Amino acid sequence: MKKTLLASAAALVLGSAASAQVVGFSQIGSESGWRAAETTVTQQEAEARGIQLQFSDAQQKQENQIAAVRSFIAQGVDAILLAPVVATGWDAVLEEAAEAEIPVVLLDRMVDSDPSLYLTAVGSDLVHEGEVAGQWLAEQVGEEPCRVVELQGTTGSSPAIDRAQGFRNGIEGHANIEIVQSQTGDFTRAQGKTVMEAFLQAENGGADICALYAHNDDMAVGAIQAIKEAGLKPGEDILVVSIDAVPDIFQAMAAGEANATVELTPNMAGPAFDALQAYWDAGTEPEKFIQTESKLYTQADDPQGEYDRRKGLGY
Ligand code: AHR
């Protein structure tokens, strides 16, 4: 009898271990500090919930992401998290996941596929982020003429498309503000610096530039370096506004070298796992879009304190 009880207790323990949910996570890569933090937070959230996370780094390539999703489907995982590098080209693989009845949750970027092909998407209002940045600039410059250079994110990605549109919405009606240069910096610090160097050269050594709008903080940090090397003062000679709210931009803000950033939380996984848990437990269908907050920070918002608060968080 005792033996039988022990055996069933062992079976229960084994049973509970074996029933841990397995989630495949196809991450874009590690192009920015923000993305590194999203990866860290996702791993922490999975661990805290006893979820077994299969992580795949696509090195910025969509074909690697598609291959990873196919491999997750072949393994029969319980769900897939997908941070899609670009917005198009996902129909076939999402249909394969749907056929296998594996729920897919999009993280931080959108796709142009039919929403029935994924369970939900967790992300910010990317157009709104650009609008906040544009409105902030419009307030700063008032009636003064302002020539803006724009560092765009990865071409074809939803944040690059939406943040470009949002900024234009934000400065609409302000004829004194003109976007005079716009090019992709692929969301990386290195590209941000290289492209900013070209902007400075094209714009009278930077004398004709009033502001930089960067689709993420990492590109802004690279551009700040280029501005300094050109002998100008970032944050004064050229205003700098960007998106993400990573520690390094707060450090730049504390030094007076950046002016404003719009926060994008790296914790997309928390709401994603909550939605998945409700779906696994009771078949509850979440909203198609779970929106995270976007908050504007300026030099008036204790940038040194923000840096201190965020620096240990995996960025
Ligand atoms: O999709 C979110 C964007 O991707 C972040 O703003 C950027 O830093 C990242 O690489």
Q: Do 168 and 305 belong to one domain?
A: yes
- Helix/strand/coil (H, E, C) string of the chain? CHHHHHHHHHHHHHHHHHCCCEEEEEECCCCCHHHHHHHHHHHHHHHHCCCEEEEEECCCCHHHHHHHHHHHHHHCCCEEEECCCCCCCCHHHHHHHHHCCCCEEEECCCCCCCHHHCCEEEECCHHHHHHHHHHHHHHHHCCCCEEEEEEECCCCCHHHHHHHHHHHHHCCCCCCEEEEEEEECCCCHHHHHHHHHHHHHHCHHHCCCCEEEECCHHHHHHHHHHHHHCCCCECCCEEEEEEECCHHHHHHHHCCCCCEEEECCCCCHHHHHHHHHHHHHHCCCCCCEEECCCCEEECCCCHHHHHHHHCCCCC
Confidence of residue 2 (pLDDT cuts 50, 70, 90): very low
Residue nearest to atom 3 of ligand 1 (CA): 159
Same domain as 145, residue 117: no
pLDDT digits (tens, 9 = 90+) for 206-235: 999 999 999 999 999 999 999 999 999 999
**Candidates 111, 126, 264, 292: which one to mutate for ligand 1, based on the most atoms within 8 Å of Cβ?**
264
Most informative mutation of 26, 216, 294 for ligand 1 (most atoms within 8 A of CB) = 216
Domain that holds residue 106: 21-123+265-284
Q: What is the mean pLDDT of residues 147-160?
A: 98
Percent of residues, the chain, with pLDDT higher than 90: 93
Domain presence at residue 108? yes
Asked if residue 136 has pLDDT above 50, the reply is yes
For residue 33, is it within any domain?
A: yes
Atom 7 (ligand 1) nearest CA: 216
pLDDT score recorded for residue 8: 39
Same domain, 174 and 252: yes
Q: Is residue 189 located within the same domain as residue 230?
A: yes
How many structural domains are present in the chain?
2
Whether residue 315 is contained in a domain is answered as no
**Measured between alpha carbons, how far is 239 from 259 in angstroms, rounded to an integer?**
6
* CATH number of the domain encompassing residue 176: 3.40.50.2300
Determine, yes or no, domain membership for 8.
no
Q: Mean pLDDT across the stretch 22-40?
A: 97
Lining residues, ligand 1, CB within 6 Å: 31-32, 34-35, 108-109, 159, 187, 216, 218, 243-244, 264
Same domain? 151 vs 189: yes
Regarding whether 77 and 39 lie in a shared domain, the answer is yes
Average pLDDT over residues 14-22: 64
Which ligand 1 atom minimizes the distance to the CA of 215? 6
pLDDT tens digits, one per residue of 244-259: 999 999 999 999 999 9
102 located within any domain: yes
Residue scoring higher pLDDT (18 or 89): 89
Same domain (yes/no): 161, 305: yes
- pTM (predicted TM-score): 0.94
Q: Tell me the C-alpha to C-alpha distance, in Å, between residue 255 and each of 4, 250, 271, 301, 303.
A: 69, 8, 34, 13, 9
Q: Does 152 lie in the same domain as 118?
A: no
Atom of ligand 1 nearest to the CA of 108: 1
In a domain, 14, yes or no: no
Residues 222 and 152 in one domain: yes
243 within domain boundaries = yes
> What's the CA-to-centroid distance between 1 and ligand 1, angstroms?
59
| 168 and 35 co-located in one domain | no
Assess whether 131 and 259 both reside in one domain.
Answer: yes
pLDDT computed for residue 312 by the predictor: 86
Which pLDDT does position 313 carry in this prediction?
A: 87
Which band of pLDDT confidence, cut at 50, 70 and 90, is reported for residue 16?
very low
Q: Which residue has the higher pLDDT, 242 or 19?
A: 242
In this structure, the answer to whether residues 255 and 269 fall within a common structural domain is no
Q: What number is the average pLDDT over the span 63-90?
A: 98
On whether residue 246 sits in a domain, the answer given is yes
pLDDT at 278 over 70: yes
Q: Residue 156: what residue type?
A: G
pLDDT at 14: 42
Q: What's the pLDDT score for residue 19?
A: 73
Residue 174: both structure tokens together: 């302000």
What is the pLDDT confidence band of residue 12, given thresholds at 50, 70 and 90? very low
Answer whether residue 6 shows pLDDT above 70.
Answer: no
Q: What is the mean pLDDT of the chain?
A: 94
> Atom 4 of ligand 1 has which residue's CA nearest to it?
35
